Structure 1
Amino acid sequence: MTKTALPTMLSFSAPDLREQIEALPEGTALIGISTDGRAIAVDLDADCPHVLVCTSTGGGSTTVLRSLTAQFLHQGAHALVLDPRRISHLWARGLPTVTHRGNVAGIHDALVGLGEEMTRRLDLTDTELDAAPRLIVSMDSANSTLRQLTRYWETFRDKDDPRMSPAVTALEAALWTGRAARVHVILDGTPATSILGAAPHEMFGTVVLARVTASTWQRLAPLAGPAPKQSPRAGRGHVIQHDEVHETQAIWMTDADVVTWLTDPDDTHI
């Protein structure tokens, strides 16, 4: 494979990049450009219904979640953005097709509502489902959030209630049957099998890893071979699809880029 010299930052405002993104078919979003010059994208309707992103601090996981979620919103999807830090996805506040939740109680209630929406959608006819907007569940800091949800449920669970948090149950249902309901999860973290009940590589068709340890690589991408050398460059990571590994420079979209694009899509001066 011949490597291509990529820019240190692949900005959404770069020449022709926005046009390339807007030309993608519905349900497809660009992650970035690989070092062999290929566009690396997620196709939610093919065999990649969910996306897992895992990076070390400063590795760009929030940027990838923001970029992918924004692209699907631009195509007409709705989104549930779970932002436990409350400041990582400020762009999502106030947008009409986005539900933004930060505190654990709000995240719990939003996921329980997701479970109810999943049940409703699974009862729709194919024609009714096709008319429903695609729903993106974007969860930042999933590891700590899932632990918080579990502890939160224990504070008021009655003895006859299920032991597992209904919020976690709803997220698990979205991962296993979301494709049939046009519900897709973009998750940041390394979800424990003890909580979600399956190995990450069984639930996510696309995995994005950056600046991770060899042990984390083996856990999240066990079929992709040994961990390659990790790049210190911001936004540079590896995308694993079909057990193929693509070193990729991810798109950089700022909060302002996203808000302007989604509220004034005809603005060409992002």
Structure 2
Amino acid sequence: MTKTVLPTMLSFSAPDLRERIEALPEGTALIGISTSGRAIAVDLDAESPHVLVCTGSGGGSTTVLRSLTAQFLHQGAHALVLDPKRISHLWAKALPTVTHRGNVAGIHDALVGLGEELARRLTLTDAELDTTPRLIVSVDSAHSALRQLTRYWETFRNKDDPHTSLAVTALEAALWSGRAARVHVLLDGTPATSALGAAPHELFGTVVLARVSATTWQRLAPFTGPALKPSRHRGRGHVIQHGEMHETQAVWMTDADVVTWLTDPDAPQN
């Protein structure tokens, strides 16, 4: 297969890229362009209701989450952005259709609320659900967030309360039942099966890997063979869908790109 020479960064301001993104149907977002020249996208209404992003340092996982979340917001979705580092997604605080939570108490309460919203949506008719905004749950640094939520739950759990954090249970419910409720999880990190109760490849139809160890590769992409040599290009990784693997340069959106695009869509990009 002939490889396409890709730029070291696929900026949102690159010629024609914004127009290409805006032409995508509702529920579909562009992850990036593969080295075969193919547009690699995720379709939430088809086979991939959730996305897992796992990268090593500098691999661009936060940028992938920001880019995908922004594209769905542009299409009319609402979003819950969970940012345990508190500084990775400050863009989210500027947007009216986004709820941003950073501290563990806020993340806990937001996920418990998510569980209630999921239950409500599952009672709606198809016609009612069609007019309900899609909900994107964007979870950065998920491994750390799950550990914090587990410890936080233990600080006030009563004897008769469930052993597992109600927030973790709500996130797991969103992963298993979200497709039917137009709730979709974009998760950054390596989710512990002890916390979420299933192997990652059972929960996520699209997996994005970059700069990960051979052990992590085998765990998250067990059917694709041995781990490939990571690229030094920031935002370059491998997208696994339908058992196929695509080396891909991810779309790069800055905080300013996202806020400007979503608050003033007619403004030209720099």
Q: TM-score, normalised by structure 2?
A: 0.99
TM-superposition CA deviations, 1:81-108 (whole Å, max 9, x none): 0001110001000311000000000000
Question: 1:229: how far off?
Answer: 1.5
Question: 1:205: how far off?
Answer: 0.2
Partner of 1:91: 91
| Residues 120-135 of structure 1: pairs in structure 2 closer than 5 A | 120-135=120-135
Partner of 1:228: 228
Question: 1:224: how far off?
Answer: 1.4
TM-superposition CA deviations, 1:8-45 (whole Å, max 9, x none): 11000000000000000000000000000000000000
What number of residue pairs does the alignment pair up? Answer: 270
Report SS of the residue matched to 1:138.
strand
Q: State the alpha-carbon separation in 2 of the partners of residues 223 and 269 from structure 1.
A: 40
Question: 1:110: how far off?
Answer: 0.1
Kindly, what percent of the aligned residue pairs are identical?
84
Q: State the alpha-carbon separation in 1 of the partners of residues 268 and 188 from structure 2.
A: 30
Q: Moved runs in structure 1, 4+ residues, more than 2 A? A: none
CA RMSD between the two structures: 0.6
| Residues 64-213 of structure 1: pairs in structure 2 closer than 5 A | 64-213=64-213
AA in 2 matched with 1:31: I
AA in 1 matched with 2:73: L
Q: State the alpha-carbon separation in 1 of the partners of residues 269 and 128 from structure 2.
A: 37
Partner of 1:217: 217
Q: State the alpha-carbon separation in 2 of the partners of residues 248 and 8 from structure 1.
A: 11
Question: 1:223: how far off?
Answer: 1.0
Question: 1:225: how far off?
Answer: 1.5
TM-superposition CA deviations, 1:27-70 (whole Å, max 9, x none): 00000000000000000000000000000111100000000000
Q: State the alpha-carbon separation in 2 of the partners of residues 269 and 58 from structure 1.
A: 25
The alignment status of 1:34 with 2:34, answered yes or no, reads: yes
Structure 2 gaps, min length 5: none
Partner of 1:55: 55
TM-superposition CA deviations, 1:149-194 (whole Å, max 9, x none): 0000000000000000000000000000000000000000010111
Structure 1 gaps, min length 5: none
Q: State the alpha-carbon separation in 2 of the partners of residues 228 and 55 from structure 1.
A: 13
Question: 1:268: how far off?
Answer: 1.8
AA in 1 matched with 2:29: A
Question: 1:269: how far off?
Answer: 3.0
Question: 1:122: how far off?
Answer: 0.2
| Residues 3-42 of structure 1: pairs in structure 2 closer than 5 A | 3-42=3-42
Q: State the alpha-carbon separation in 2 of the partners of residues 166 and 2 from structure 1.
A: 49
Q: State the alpha-carbon separation in 1 of the partners of residues 108 and 48 from structure 2.
A: 26
CA contact 2:94–2:259 (8 Å) conserved in 1 = no
Q: State the alpha-carbon separation in 2 of the partners of residues 7 and 76 from structure 1.
A: 30
Q: State the alpha-carbon separation in 2 of the partners of residues 258 and 26 from structure 1.
A: 18
Q: TM-score, normalised by structure 1?
A: 0.99
